[in-house]
């Protein structure tokens, strides 16, 4: 189940990143998305979550939210 959740979380982060880019289309907006994703990653790392949950939310969701490939 963990690989499926990883893919779902990564897909969700990527879709949110793309939606933010399509709606705002400015460099400051992308900066905001990166700061929000980094802040979420900090909260996830600081929370008392299981290792697999931290990996799924941190690496998959926040990783794809703060990374944009062209």
Predicted confidence (pLDDT) per residue in 11-33, tens digit? 999 999 888 888 888 878 788 88
Contact 13, 63 (CB under 8 A): yes
pLDDT in tens, 25-62: 887 878 888 999 999 999 999 999 999 999 999 999 99
**DSSP class per residue in 1-39:** -HHHHHHHHHHHHHHHHHHHHHHH-SHHHHHHHHHHHHH
Token pair of 60 as six digits: 């998959």
pLDDT of residue 69: 56
Considering the entire predicted model, what is its pTM?
0.86
């Amino acid at each position: 189940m963990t690989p499926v959740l990883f893919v779902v979380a990564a897909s969700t982060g990527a879709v949110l990143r793309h939606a933010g880019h399509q709606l705002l289309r400015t460099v400051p907006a992308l900066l905001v998305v990166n700061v929000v994703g980094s802040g979420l990653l900090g909260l996830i790392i600081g929370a008392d979550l299981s290792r697999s949950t931290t990996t799924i939310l941190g690496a998959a969701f926040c990783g794809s939210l703060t990374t944009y490939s062209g």
